[in-house]
Amino acid sequence: MILKNEIQNINTKLFLSLLLLLYVLVGIILNWYIITDDHYYKSLGNQLDVERIRQLLTFRNKWDWIGFLIIPLLILVKISLVAVCLEVGNFIIDLKLKFKQLFKIALLGEAIFLIAALTKIIYFLLFPKNVTLEFIQTFYPLSLINMVVIEKIPAYLVYPLQLINVFELLYWIILAYLIKIYTNSSFDKSFGFVAKTYGIGLFTWVVLVVFLSIN
């Protein structure tokens, strides 16, 4: 009961604002300090001439702030979609949870993916910079994608392999645990609820991404 009260006392707006701000900072560090112009020249050198790459970098440096503004919107949409998936199950099973509670559950769980993003930043800040642009873009901490050679797998497998990672598993566990706290149910029942709601939604999204990648 104490833990439930502590969760309820978390200021949702403040937590969301801090989360989005940190995501933007991660994006800035990644694009300004980890991905350098050399990465573009090395990765695109066989496809474009130097002048074309220079024009591309000029365009990127001029407009990348728009990408930073889009980051909060994408994260907010992601959290909302997870909450909607949970709400569908809540409506069918009648867990008697309000949408704002489900939104907070999805929001608190999202913190684990922020940790993953920070882990990626720390990894590239500590290790040598002689990696390709493709490696930086596809790298995801503690995931299956890091165990394969990107050039040797079909493009449509990149996202599913990124998705199979320790942080995603922890996200499922956090969602289930928070639902357990709110509903006073068993963890097994709460985890099954997450699998039948968020899990199905995630599977549908992966199938869509793979389908678009193939076509």
Mean pLDDT of 161-167: 96
Residue-range domain boundaries for the chain: 2-214
| Cα→Cα distances 8→3, 5, 13, 98, Å | 9, 5, 12, 12
pLDDT tens-place string over residues 169-204: 999 999 999 999 999 899 999 999 999 999 999 999
Q: Does the predicted TM-score (pTM) go above 0.85?
A: yes
pLDDT tens-place string over residues 102-137: 999 999 999 999 999 999 999 998 886 678 888 898
3-state secondary structure of 147: helix
Residue 140 has pLDDT above 90, yes or no: yes
The pLDDT, as a whole number, for residue 199 is 96
Mind giving me the DSSP string for 106-140?
Answer: HHHHHHHHHHHHHHHHHHHHHS-S---HHHHHH--
Query: What is the largest distance, in Å, between two alpha-carbon atoms of the chain?
Result: 64
